[in-house]
Amino acid sequence: MPSVILKDTKFHGNIIEKDSITVDGIVVGNIKAEEIIIHQNGNITGNLTSDNNIEVGGQVTGDLSSDRIHLNNSAKVSGKLSHRNLVVDEGAQLEIGCSTRKK
């Protein structure tokens, strides 16, 4: 079963998950997972590394690295992005540097 962290929960430390992880709470630390989904109340301070997919609807301060990165309209991201596919919705607040990996 994939992991879910709700908004009443705070994590201090690094998370490694071989499955999918959904975060709606506060995480201070790096996250490594196959798929990372950050919801609207999510607040991450740290780097996100994923094999497949990162979806951001909350706040992230740190570097993102994934095959596919999707920044929703409620996303606030500052950091460096490394990706193959990048999707940015209207309304996302960004302070980012992007680099597309070669296929």
Partner 1 sequence: MFFKSDKKSQVHGFSHLGENLRFEGEIDCKGEIEIAGKVKSNIKAKKLTILESGSVKGLVQAEDVEVLGCMVGNIESVNIYIGGKGVVRGNLRFENNLTVLEGADISGHVQKNKKEKIKRLDSDKVKYLEHNKIAS
Rule CB under 8 A: which residues touch partner 1? Answer: 1-19, 21-22, 24-25, 29, 39, 41
Rounded Cα–Cα distance for residues 25 and 23 (Å): 6
Rounded Cα–Cα distance for residues 62 and 32 (Å): 13
**Please, what is the minimum distance in Å from the beta carbon of residue 9 to partner 1?**
4
Of 39 and 83, CB closest to partner 1:
39
**Please, what is the minimum distance in Å from the beta carbon of residue 29 to partner 1?**
6
**Please, what is the minimum distance in Å from the beta carbon of residue 26 to partner 1?**
9
Of 3 and 85, CB closest to partner 1:
3
Query: What's the distance, CA 16 to chain centroid?
Result: 13
The residues, ordered by sequence, that sit 6+ positions from 23 with a Cβ below 8 Å of its Cβ are 5, 31, 36, 37, 38, 39, 42, 44, 58
Of 17 and 82, CB closest to partner 1:
17
**Please, what is the minimum distance in Å from the beta carbon of residue 34 to partner 1?**
9
Would you mind telling me the total number of residues written for the chain in this entry? Answer: 103
